[in-house]
Amino acid sequence: MLKSAFRYSVFILLLPILAGVFSCSSGDDYYMDRDTVMVYIDDTVQTQTPLPPPVIRSFTYTVQIGAFKNKTNADNFAAEFTRKMNSVPDISVSSSGFYIVTTGTFSDRVLAESYLGRVKAQGFNDAFILTREK
């Protein structure tokens, strides 16, 4: 009984607000441009600014197969990878001085995971996927 009385009183309290919001009767009751929507309710203007569009983030996925302090070790590892996979990996130097050996660049994580499976099947068990924002 108390719950239904509460619902009824909330409805009674909201009724004037709802009636004002939905009482637009002619095409002159609102104004809209690219940045602002103004709705006229009972001779008062209510302005609403639309939300900005969502930020769409995109990523690239690369398979890292090794990291070495010594360039010769990185070069030898890359040569072994080339023999086994018939693909030449990239070698870059990190900010901490490591030679990072990577292979493959994908815009789809599923494709990167599939390639990672092939790399691991050839014995490069420590390989993993690097995710970078474009």
Query: What pLDDT digit, counting tens, does each position of 38-50 carry?
Result: 555 566 655 667 7
Say if residue 80's pLDDT is above 90.
yes
Predicted TM-score (pTM) above 0.75: no
Q: What pLDDT is stored for residue 35 in this prediction?
A: 57
Instruction: Dig out the tokens for 16 from the structure.
Output: 């004037």
Mean pLDDT value of segment 17-34: 49
Assess contact for 49 and 36: CB atoms under 8 A.
Answer: yes
The full set of domain ranges for the chain reads 59-133
Among 3.30.70.1070, 3.40.440.10, 3.30.70.1400, 3.10.20.30, what is the CATH number of 59-133?
Answer: 3.30.70.1070
- Lowest-confidence segment of 12-26, 60-74, 105-119 by average pLDDT: 12-26
Q: What pLDDT is stored for residue 134 in this prediction?
A: 87
**Range among 22-26, 27-31, 110-114 with highest mean pLDDT value:** 110-114
Query: What pLDDT digit, counting tens, does each position of 81-132 carry?
Result: 999 999 999 999 999 999 999 999 999 999 999 999 999 999 999 999 999 9
* Strand-strand pairing, 44-48 and 59-68: unpaired
Assess contact for 62 and 134: CB atoms under 8 A.
Answer: no
Assess contact for 127 and 65: CB atoms under 8 A.
Answer: yes
Instruction: Dig out the tokens for 117 from the structure.
Output: 């499976």
Assess contact for 62 and 105: CB atoms under 8 A.
Answer: yes
Assess contact for 30 and 37: CB atoms under 8 A.
Answer: yes
